Amino acid sequence: MSFRHEKLTVYQRALDFAGWSQTLIESISKRNSTRDHLERAGDSIALNIAEGNGKFSRRDRARFFQIAHGSALESAACLDLFVARRCCEPAAIVEGKELLEEIVKMLFKLLDNLGCRVAEDCSEYGVEIEEEAEKEEEGEKEGEGRGRGRRNRRGRY
């Protein structure tokens, strides 16, 4: 038996990152809070993708995917901290950053498919801002005259 979340490519990449980051964590001899934080944040990506994919409402699914997105950004910051604290060389985190960037792109796509937004500028992750604005404008026009236009604009994430 397989679960639905196991079929998601973004979930598989989150597992890849968890394995990759564990190897990095074990290679860092200096014990610090960032090691523990990276382990928790990395696990949180996969766990929130799995839990979110099992939710039935769009809003609940989006909430968990947004948490996974935040955990991916936290993980990227942990990698930066390792370099800043001279725990590892910049070259040591390249693969992890690439995995995280791929995960963030996929999470943006999932959130976009759910009709949700995140506050960060998506253009850096391969999502075209112009297309997003056009979709939003079309949605606003459809909502006009039905008394729901304002609610639709505010109801988005």
Do 53 and 106 lie in one domain? The reply is yes
Do 81 and 41 lie in one domain? The reply is yes
Do 69 and 102 lie in one domain? The reply is yes
- Per-residue pLDDT tens over the stretch 61-83: 999 999 999 999 999 999 999 99
Assess contact for 38 and 30: CB atoms under 8 A: no
136 against 109, higher pLDDT: 109
Assess contact for 34 and 85: CB atoms under 8 A: yes
Q: What is the CATH number of the domain that holds 110?
A: 1.20.1440.60
Do 138 and 63 lie in one domain? The reply is no
Least confident of 6-20, 26-40, 59-73, 96-110: 26-40
Do 29 and 96 lie in one domain? The reply is yes
Do 40 and 94 lie in one domain? The reply is yes
Do 112 and 134 lie in one domain? The reply is no
- Per-residue pLDDT tens over the stretch 30-44: 878 999 999 999 999
Total structural domains within the chain: 2
Domain range for residue 107?
4-117
Residue type for position 34: T
Do 53 and 92 lie in one domain? The reply is yes
Three-class DSSP labels, the chain: CCCHHHHCHHHHHHHHHHHHHHHHHHHCCCCCHHHHHHHHHHHHHHHHHHHHHCCCCHHHHHHHHHHHHHHHHHHHHHHHHHHHCCCCCHHHHHHHHHHHHHHHHHHHHHHHHCCCCCCCCHHHHCCCHHHHHHHHHHHHHHHCCCCCHHHHHHHCC
105 lies in some domain? yes
Q: Is 105 exposed, middle or buried (0-12, 13-18, 19+ CB in 10 A)?
A: middle
Do 105 and 46 lie in one domain? The reply is yes
20 lies in some domain? yes
Do 10 and 63 lie in one domain? The reply is yes
Per-residue model confidence (pLDDT) at position 29:
84
122 lies in some domain? no
Q: Average pLDDT of 90-117?
A: 94
